């Protein structure tokens, strides 16, 4: 295995994925491998615009510029926080300050876990749990926990008006090229990459799950009228790839966990990146 210095984070302009729905992107090179990982968030520009997660602090200026190129700060009415990880909450304080008319959609557990990092304005909060909904004027959005997640506070977001499901960290995959779509990926690579993320970064206990109980929950989520899957760490998934993605994550409890990078890999990365580039 060879290692190279990590190139800088790349900017990809926001992309329209459905009517009134845009994904804001950040692309981060993977450490030690010629791969790239998306760090996405989303905006729904309906009657009452919704910001879905708030990007990373490392990308703050660009992320805020992208967001406010799509919607004026005073027009934002809702900020939906899927969970408290830093790549989803990185600009939360800045958004809530810049958007005085916004209500923060969160939950009790998120406040308990994250209140030491963010001063939640309780009078501007609304607690929405899994399988609950909230009205944003021209549509009713449903909070739905995705099948895979790394925080117990997690809720995804389903928009029945467009069929877009924000799957948070579920379906995460690295990419050999940041410009690739899911259709461009070799299927074996995609399946193995989803497995690596699932076992290594999201749910290391997958092999301990009851496959039948887990499968029933996957069926419930897949049973939504989903036409487009957006998530934090994947290109958009649509068409026949939606069924393939669900089929893959349904298989995971029966698979052997992949080998994950250990200290020997870190040693190699440090040795390679400490040398000046050739």
Phi-psi region of 55 (alpha: psi -120 to 50; beta: other; left: phi over 0): left
CB 21 within 8 A of CB 31: no
Given a cut of 60, whether residue 7 has pLDDT beyond it is no
For residue 71, the domain's CATH number is 3.60.15.10
Q: How far are the Cα atoms of 5, 45, 171, 274 from residue 271, in angstroms, in the given order?
A: 10, 47, 32, 5
Residue with tokens 């669900």: 246
Given a cut of 60, whether residue 1 has pLDDT beyond it is no
Structure tokens at 251: 């298989």
Helices assigned H by DSSP within 164-230: 187-197, 211-222
Number of domains in the chain: 1
Range of the domain at 225: 15-273
Residue 157 belongs to a domain: yes
Residues 6+ apart with CB under 8 A from 127: 106, 107, 108
Q: How far apart are CA 41 and CA 99, in angstroms?
A: 17
> pLDDT band at 276, cuts 50/70/90?
low
Residue 237 belongs to a domain: yes
Sign, Cα dihedral of 127, 130, 132, 134: positive
CB 24 within 8 A of CB 11: no
Report the pLDDT value the prediction gives residue 30, as an integer from 0 to 100: 82
Residue 213 belongs to a domain: yes
Residue 8 belongs to a domain: no
Residues 176-182: contacts with CB under 8 Å, at least 24 apart: 176/34, 176/35, 176/36, 177/36, 178/10, 178/12, 178/27, 178/36, 178/38, 180/235, 181/235, 181/236, 182/234, 182/235, 182/236, 182/237, 182/241, 182/245
Q: What is the mean pLDDT of residues 210-239?
A: 97
Q: What is the pLDDT of residues 177-186, one digit of tens each?
A: 999 999 999 9
Q: What is the pLDDT of residues 33-76, one digit of tens each?
A: 789 999 999 999 999 999 999 999 999 999 999 999 999 999 99
Residue 4 belongs to a domain: no
Q: What is the pLDDT of residues 78-133, one digit of tens each?
A: 999 999 999 999 999 999 999 999 999 999 999 999 998 899 999 999 999 999 99
Given a cut of 60, whether residue 2 has pLDDT beyond it is no
Residue 3 belongs to a domain: no
Report the pLDDT value the prediction gives residue 29, as an integer from 0 to 100: 87
> How do 103-106 and 125-127 pair as beta strands?
parallel
Q: Exposed, middle or buried: residue 193 (CB in 10 Å: 0-12, 13-18, 19+)?
A: buried
Structure tokens at 106: 């969160």
The phi, psi pair for 143, rounded to 5°, reads: -80, 125
Structural Rg of the chain based on CA atoms: 19
Report the pLDDT value the prediction gives residue 33, as an integer from 0 to 100: 75
Q: What is the mean pLDDT of residues 259-267?
A: 87
Residue 204 belongs to a domain: yes
Q: What is the mean pLDDT of residues 246-266?
A: 91
Residue 9 belongs to a domain: no
More confident residue, 4 or 74: 74
């Amino acid at each position: 295995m060879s290692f190279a210095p990590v190139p800088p984070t790349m900017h990809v302009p926001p992309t329209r994925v459905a009517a009134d729905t845009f994904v804001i992107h950040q692309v981060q090179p993977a450490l030690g491998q010629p791969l790239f990982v998306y760090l996405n968030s989303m905006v729904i520009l309906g009657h009452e615009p919704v910001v879905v997660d708030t990007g990373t602090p490392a990308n703050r200026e660009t992320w805020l510029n992208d967001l406010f190129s799509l919607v004026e700060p005073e027009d934002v009415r809702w900020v939906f926080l899927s969970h408290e990880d830093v790549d989803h909450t990185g600009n939360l304080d800045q958004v809530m300050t810049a958007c005085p008319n916004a209500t923060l959609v969160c939950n009790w557990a998120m406040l308990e876990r994250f209140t030491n990092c963010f001063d939640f304005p309780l009078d501007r909060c609304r607690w929405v749990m899994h399988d609950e909904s909230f009205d944003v004027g021209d549509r009713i959005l449903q909070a739905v926990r995705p099948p895979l997640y790394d925080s117990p506070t997690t809720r995804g977001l389903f928009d029945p008006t467009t069929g877009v499901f924000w799957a948070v960290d579920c379906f995460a995959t690295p990419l050999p090229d940041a410009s690739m779509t899911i259709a461009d990926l070799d299927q074996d690579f995609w399946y193995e990459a989803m497995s690596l993320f699932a076992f290594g970064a999201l749910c290391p206990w997958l092999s301990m799950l009851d496959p039948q109980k887990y499968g029933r929950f996957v069926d419930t989520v897949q049973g939504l009228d989903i036409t487009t899957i957006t998530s934090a760490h994947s290109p958009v998934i649509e068409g026949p790839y939606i069924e393939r993605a669900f089929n893959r994550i349904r298989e995971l409890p029966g698979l052997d966990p992949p080998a994950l990078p250990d200290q020997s890999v870190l040693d190699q990365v440090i040795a390679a990146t400490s040398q000046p580039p050739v």
